[in-house]
Amino acid sequence: MKEKREPVFLWISIVVFGIAAILIITQNLEPNLTLPGFTLFGEQTQPPEYSIKKPEEVVRQYFESWDRKDWPNMYATLSDGFKKIDPDAKDLFEFTNFASSQGISGEKIIAIKQESNDGTTAIIAYSVEFTLSDGNKQDFDDKFTLKFRQGDVIPGWKLIHPYGPNIDTS
């Protein structure tokens, strides 16, 4: 009869220690150890705040990201519509290859100025100094047209024609 008690006692001990371990672990969890929108225990949390950048800030992000070779942040400034029509922007891989092959090793922003903004379309004039791969510097002045894209994967102001002949007219 004594033999039957030992396995039962062993199983009860394992269960008690298991419950104690779970309680200790859950008491020591950091509150920020969550997936976006959910905690480990199924309670829903609020997603992080997202602030929409002004058109001038998007243009600044484009050039500063280019200067740092931060291709994902540079790519994020392009409208989803432009990404669909321009073969060099169809995905981050193609865009990275294109942007890194332009013969430009650095960018210095001279000026960024909003010329117009009606709430859906903004025209931003910019002046930059490119440092070319051979070390020479070249000034470049132009304008970007940005559209407010609520339906993009990341909503906000986006460049609809950053380079080349393709223009997002959607």
73-129 per-position pLDDT tens digit: 999 898 888 888 788 888 999 989 888 888 898 899 999 999 999 999 999 999 999
So what's the pLDDT on residue 90? 87
pLDDT of residue 89: 86
Q: Taking all residues of the chain, what is their mean pLDDT, rounded to a whole number?
A: 80
Strands in the chain per DSSP E = 104-117, 121-132, 137-149, 156-159
Q: Are 78 and 157 in contact (CB under 8 A)?
A: no
For domain 55-159, give the fold. Nuclear Transport Factor 2; Chain: A, (3.10.450)
Q: Give pTM, 2 decimals.
A: 0.67
* Closest to 131 in 3D by CA, of 110, 155, 105, 112: 105
- For residue 138, which phi and psi values (nearest 5 degrees)? -140, 125
For residues 56 and 156, the answer to whether their CB atoms sit within 8 Å is no
Specify which of 25-34, 88-97, 148-157 reaches the highest per-range mean pLDDT: 88-97
Domain chopping of the chain, boundaries? 1-49, 55-159
Distance CA 127, CA 140 (A): 6
What digits encode the pLDDT tens for the residues 124-150?
999 999 999 999 999 999 999 998 888
Q: Are 86 and 164 in contact (CB under 8 A)?
A: yes
Q: 156-159 and 137-149 as β-strands: parallel, antiparallel, unpaired?
A: antiparallel
* 20 vs 14, more confident: 14
Angstrom distance (rounded) from CA 154 to CA 158: 9
pLDDT at residue 27 in the model: 62
Q: 113: helix, coil or strand? A: strand
Is it the case that residue 28 has pLDDT exceeding 80?
no
Q: Per-residue pLDDT for 35 more than 50? A: no
Residue 33: the pLDDT is 47
pLDDT of amino acid 2: 52
Token digits of residue 8: 């039962």
Tokens of 55: 């058109």
Percent of the chain scored above 90 by pLDDT? 36
Residue 128 burial (CB < 10 Å; 0-12/13-18/19+)? buried
